[in-house]
Amino acid sequence: MKLYSTSRALAIALLPLTTAAETADQPQDAISLPPLVITRATPLQQPAPASVQVISREEIDKSAASNLIDVLRGQAGLQVRDTLGDGNRASISLRGFGENSVNNTLVMVDGRRLNNPTLSGPDLNSVPLANIERIEILRGAGTVLYGDQAVGGVINIITRTPQDNQAYVETSQGSHDLEAYRGHAFQQLGAGFSAFFSGETRNADNYRDHNNASYSNGFGRLRYEHDSGWALYEYQSVDDELRLPGALTISQRRADRKASTSNEWSDNKTQVQRFAVQQNLNGNWVGDFDYSLRDTDGVGFISGSPLRDGTRVESLSPRVTAHWENALGRSEWLLGHDHISSDYQASYASFASLNSDALQTQRDWYSQFSQPLGQGLSLSLGYRSSEAEDRNKLNSQQHTDREGSSSIGLSWQANRQTQLFIKREDVLRWANVNENAYVEPGINFLKAQTGVSWESGLEWSDGSQRYQASLYRLDLVDELMYDPFANGGWGANINLDKTRREGLLLEAERSLSERLSLGGQYSFTDAKYRAGVNQGNEVPWVSRNSASTHLNYRLAQDLNAYLEAVYTGPRYLSSDDAHELAQAGGYTLFNAALNYQYSQFNAKLRVNNLTGKRYDSFATYTLYAAGNQALYPAQEEDVQLSLGYRF
**Residues 516 and 547: beta-carbon distance below 8 Å:** no
Calpha distance 262→252 (Å, rounded):
13
Instruction: Catalogue the E-assigned strands of 164-304.
Output: 166-174, 178-190, 193-204, 213-226, 229-244, 264-280, 285-302
**pTM, entire model:** 0.92
Can you count the helices (H) and strands (E) in the chain? Answer: 7, 33
R_g of the chain, CA atoms, integer Å: 24
Question: Which residues fall within 8 angstroms of residue 488, CB to CB, at 6 or more apart?
Answer: none
Q: What is the pLDDT of residue 451?
A: 98
Fold classification of 4-646 is Maltoporin; Chain A (2.40.170)
Calpha distance 9→18 (Å, rounded):
16
Q: Convert the pLDDT of each residue in 321-360 to its tens digit.
A: 999 999 999 999 999 999 999 999 999 999 888 889 999 9
Q: How far is CA 332 from the centre of its chain?
A: 28
Q: Convert the pLDDT of each residue in 552-593 to its tens digit.
A: 999 999 999 999 999 999 999 999 999 999 999 999 999 999
Q: What is the pLDDT of residue 47?
A: 57
Q: What is the pLDDT of residue 352?
A: 86
Kindly report the backbone phi and psi dihedral angles of residue 581, in degrees, each rounded to the nearest multiple of 5, phi listed first. -115, 165
Q: In a 10 Å sphere around its CB, with 0-12 CB exposed, 13-18 middle and 19+ buried, how is residue 425 labelled? A: buried
Cα separations in angstroms, 633 against 209, 257, 301 = 12, 6, 22
Question: Which residues fall within 8 angstroms of residue 572, CB to CB, at 6 or more apart?
Answer: 538, 540, 541, 579, 581, 583, 584
Calpha distance 99→542 (Å, rounded):
9
Calpha distance 241→603 (Å, rounded):
28
Domain borders along the chain are 4-646
Q: What is the pLDDT of residue 34?
A: 42
Q: What is the pLDDT of residue 36?
A: 43
Q: What is the pLDDT of residue 497?
A: 87
Query: Which parts of the chain sit beneath pLDDT 50?
Result: 1-39, 41-44
Calpha distance 528→534 (Å, rounded):
9
H or E, element range at 13: helix 4-14
Beta-strand relationship, 601-608 and 616-621: unpaired
Q: Is 324 helix (H, G, I), strand (E, B) or coil?
A: strand
Q: What is the C-alpha end-to-end distance of the chain, expressed in Å?
A: 28
